[in-house]
Structure 1
Amino acid sequence: MKYLKIRWLCLLIFTLFLVLWYSHVTRTGDGVVDLGLRGYERIPSSETSDFRYLALHCGRCAVVSSSGHMRGSGRGIEIDGHDCVIRMNAAPTWGFQGDVGNRTSVRVVSHTSVPHLLRHEDVFFRHEADTLYVVWGPERNMRQDGKGRVFNTLVKLTRKYPHAHIYTVSREKVLYCDRVFQDETGKNRMKSGAFLSTGFFTMILAMEVCDSIDVYGMMDGSYCSVANHTSVPYHYYENYRLDECGMYRVHERAKRGGHRFVTEKSIYKRWASQGKLRFPYPTWSPLQQA
């Protein structure tokens, strides 16, 4: 009997030790989780020899769309005032600071936009050296067996810029995002012939790391169906492409390879009704009728 009591006491002490140790190694003084978010894996360099998960927590976040609605917004200072600023792909800040701000905490980047980063790598990996890059793409481009073309490019980048913070979205995380899309829409993303947009991966990430999210430049899904809607460029930094609504219509109707921008926006509207998302510019409410 005495032996059993000693055994249970030792087990209790050992369990308490494990709890205290886990609390120490997984949290820093400001509440950041060191072990990070599963599904976002850092590419190792000479400065980071092992894969590490994304360790990020933000209070107020600004998610800045690349939409032409950002032109003339004058929201740059307001955007920079957030704890974290999340941008997409290679959307530039230089020359547009007054409208989109200057700070960049995170860039969520499509595999198709990696070449755009390379064209201005000095800006992205020297001038914005503290930015976290989260790159998503299909398995064929992101595989880590030497045959993933985009993954191989990212590895070379980390060797060239060993202090760069480059993460990839794991295959499991991509499948998780597919499940979220299907749960929200009732549609199988692959069977519908669509690809999730960078905006969708960005919103998923923001929902995971931010306490509150202000989304800039994103109109609701019904905007393009309004007869007198304003025509804006698809990207605020381009003049020569289809306008935004024209691009949305092309993608929404595409049988293969398109993004379902309008469908995704209806999902964001439902998430906004839960109170974590706001749309301060252009201002609209999730309670507006779709």
Structure 2
Amino acid sequence: MKPQRIHWVCLVIVTLSVLLWYVHMTRSDGSNGMVNLGLQGYVRIIPGRMDQFLDMHCRQCALVSSSGQMRMAELGKEIDQTGCVVRMNNAPTQGYEQDVGSRTSLRVVSHTSVPLLMKNESYYFGNSADTVYVVWGPERNMRQDGRGHIFNALMKIATIYPQVKIYMVTREKVQYCDHVFQNETGKNRMKSGAFLSTGFFTMVLLMDMCDSVNVYGMIDAKYCSHADHRDVPYHYYEKGRVDECHMYRVHERARHGGHRFITEKAIYARWASRNRVEFKHPHWDLQESNQEP
């Protein structure tokens, strides 16, 4: 065999070997020591191991807000027809199917909402085995040395319900989200006394996980300043609670410990202008949303 032909044969063999290795790595469940190459920054909580990353991709996602805007929306059928349906915290579907749908592919949960899920663990973890959970929280609550009480609670749930896929946002990913907030606003999140919302972590995740996103029930940054805005409760499933716009204003002005809901909505509008994101009910005029106040 001529040297040139030998060279090409060797090159083909090496290329095929690398390709087979890559396929093996991306499909491995970790049983042979290989690490699942999923979405970095989201690691599965499994007793005895922490090496499996979130491996989830959707062509189209429906992000359903917990806002009272979803009351009488009658969008349940449309939402359920979407490839992946994403909800936040403990927002229920039972009894609200006509407005918000019944399917839940992914639920992004704040560390403060984990106890609420555990109060009804049979509903969230026993009857929703097909739902993937992604939980975010500060290092003090998510640390893995036995002193992170939220991590400990999640590990207990993962032990009781091994079929449920529960992931935590890594410390590095939380820090990345802080950097994103600072890059978008010019403000240091911690020095400004702000906490990122579950919606912020959800939007960051969906930018990586979904080819396109339809957002339901989320108001834009200027909605509450309009004289004819609709007065709705902060959550669609809570009766007689605080008004949504009032909650937004209180948090936006809080010197410490507030979510910058209005600022975050302005950020989402900029992201939507660069990505396949559409805001529905109420509809966002992105050109208006991206204008300086």
Per the normalisation by structure 1, the TM-score is 0.91
Change (3 A) 1:50 1:187: closer
Q: Work out whether 1:114 is the aligned partner of 2:114.
A: yes
Residue equivalent to 1:41: 43
Amino acid at match of 1:189: R
In the alignment, structure 1 segments of 5+ residues that lack a partner are none
CA–CA distance in 1 between the matches of 2:126 and 2:47?
16
CA–CA distance in 2 between the matches of 1:268 and 1:83?
22
How big is each residue's C-alpha offset from its partner over 1:210-235, in whole Å with a ceiling of 9 and x where there is no partner?
A: 00000000111000111221110000
Amino acid at match of 2:41: G
Contact 2:233 2:242 in 1 (8 A): yes
Contact 1:45 1:162 in 2 (8 A): no
Shift of 1:288: 2.1
Residue equivalent to 1:195: 195
Q: Work out whether 1:230 is the aligned partner of 2:230.
A: yes
CA–CA distance in 1 between the matches of 2:221 and 2:202?
17
Any residues of structure 2 matched to 1:76-95 within 5 Å, and which?
A: 76-95=76-95
Residue equivalent to 1:53: 53
CA–CA distance in 2 between the matches of 1:261 and 1:50?
32
Contact 2:66 2:88 in 1 (8 A): yes
Residue equivalent to 2:32: none
CA–CA distance in 1 between the matches of 2:147 and 2:195?
22
CA–CA distance in 2 between the matches of 1:6 and 1:275?
47
Shift of 1:283: 1.5
Q: Work out whether 1:138 is the aligned partner of 2:110.
A: no
Per the normalisation by structure 2, the TM-score is 0.90
Contact 2:43 2:50 in 1 (8 A): no
Shift of 1:278: 0.1
In the alignment, structure 2 segments of 5+ residues that lack a partner are 29-34
Amino acid at match of 2:74: G
Q: Percent identity?
A: 61
Residue equivalent to 1:126: 126
Describe the SS at the equivalent of 1:59: strand
How big is each residue's C-alpha offset from its partner over 1:78-103, in whole Å with a ceiling of 9 and x where there is no partner?
A: 00010000000000000100000000
Describe the SS at the equivalent of 1:135: strand
Question: Aligned-residue CA RMSD in angstroms?
Answer: 2.2
The structure 1 segments of at least 4 consecutive aligned residues displaced by more than 6 Å after TM superposition are 5-9
CA–CA distance in 1 between the matches of 2:50 and 2:260?
36
CA–CA distance in 1 between the matches of 2:26 and 2:275?
28
Give the length in aligned residue pairs.
282
